[in-house]
Amino acid sequence: MAGMSTTRVPLIAGNWKMNLDHLQSIAFVQKLAWSLKDAKHGFASVEVAVFPPFTDLRSVQTLISADKLELKFGGQDLSAYDSGAYTGEISGAFLKALDCDYVIIGHSERRTLHHETDEEIGAKVTAAIKHGLVPVLCVGETADDLETHGPSAVPVAQLKAALATAAKGVDIVVAYEPVWAIGSGKAATPAQAEQVAAALRVALVDLIGQEAADATRILYGGSVKASNIAGFMREPNVDGALVGGASLDLSEFSSIAQFQKHVGT
Ligand code: PEP
C-alpha cells in the first residue's frame, strides 16, 4: 500500500468544537488566510479545512466566497434525516446549501456525550453522501479498548459498522483519533498511527473497493501540534490530521498546514 500515498492530497482539518462565535470566526478565517498567503501555501498540495460551529457557517461561507479563499469548510455533525420534526438537528441539505465540502461524523465527543451508536453514525454517513458532503468519519479506541483489544480492533470495527451499507467507490475521509490522545497532550506515536491507519486501509478495500480505498485520506487526530505533525506525515498511510485544540491557535494551525516545510526537522 505504501507508494499509493502520492495520489492522495493531504488534508489538514481544524475541528473548532464549541469555540469562536460567528464574529470571531470571520476574524480567525481572515487571519488564517493571510497567514497561509504570506507563507505562499500551495492549496493544491495540502488542503486546509475548518469546521466551525453551525452558527458560524454562513459567515465563513460568505467570507470564503467573497474573498475567493481556497480554504474548505464543513460542519461538525449532521442529522441522519433530511428534514422534519427533529428539534435542534441540522440537515445535510442545509450544510450543502451553505457550500460545505465536508462534515465530521462520529467524533468521540458525540459518541460519548451524545451516546451516538455505530448504527446512527452509519445513517449519518449515508445522509452526508446523499447530500453531496464528504464525511470525515472519526474512529478510535479508548485506553481500556487498547489494553483489552489491542490497537486496531475497535477502530476497524467502528469503520466496518459505519460503512456497512456504503456503496463501492464512495468519497470519504477517515480520521483515526485514539480517544486517549484527544485533548490529552499525549499524542500517539507516528508508528502507532501508521499501524492503525494501515489496518483501516485494508478494511476499506473490502468496504468500498480497492480504488476508493487507495484514494481515501486517512487522518490522524489527537494532540497534533506544529512540533509533532511532521512525524505523522512521514508515515505512508497517514494523509493528514484532524486538529482540535491547536486549530484555534492561528500560528500553530498555520504551521501544521505547512508541515511540508518542516518535514525532516
Ligand atoms: C479532536 O477533537 O478532533 C482532536 C484531535 O483534539 P486535540 O487536537 O485537541 O487532541
Q: To test ligand 1's pocket by mutation, which of 113, 177, 184, 256 has the most ligand atoms within 8 angstroms of CB?
A: 177
- The topology under which CATH files domain 2-100+113-244+253-261 is TIM Barrel (3.20.20)
The pLDDT score that the predictor gives to residue 168 is 94
Q: Which atom of ligand 1 is nearest to the CA of 247?
A: 8
Rounded distance from Cα 180 to ligand 1 centre (Å): 10
What per-residue confidence (pLDDT) applies to 7?
A: 81
Burial of 69 (0-12, 13-18, 19+ CB in 10 A): buried
Distance between CA atoms of residues 255 and 35, nearest Å: 9
Q: How far is CA 172 from the centre of its chain?
A: 10
* pLDDT at position 89: 98
26-50 residue pLDDT tens: 999 999 999 999 999 999 999 999 9
pLDDT digits (tens, 9 = 90+) for 164-212: 999 999 999 999 999 999 999 999 999 999 999 999 999 999 999 999 9
pTM: 0.96
Name the residue with cell 507563507.
39
Query: From ligand 1's centre to the CA of 84, what distance in Å?
Result: 32
Domain boundaries, the chain: 2-100+113-244+253-261
According to the model, what pLDDT value does residue 264 have?
57
Instruction: Pull the grid cell for residue 265.
Output: 526537522
CA distance 173 to 6: 16
What does the pLDDT read at residue 230? 97
Residue 52: which of 248, 191, 211 has the closest Cα? Answer: 248
pLDDT value, residue 4: 47
Closest CA to 120 of 85, 79, 87: 79
Measuring from atom 4 of ligand 1, which residue has the nearest CA? 244
Ranges of residues in the chain whose predicted pLDDT is under 70: 1-6, 263-265
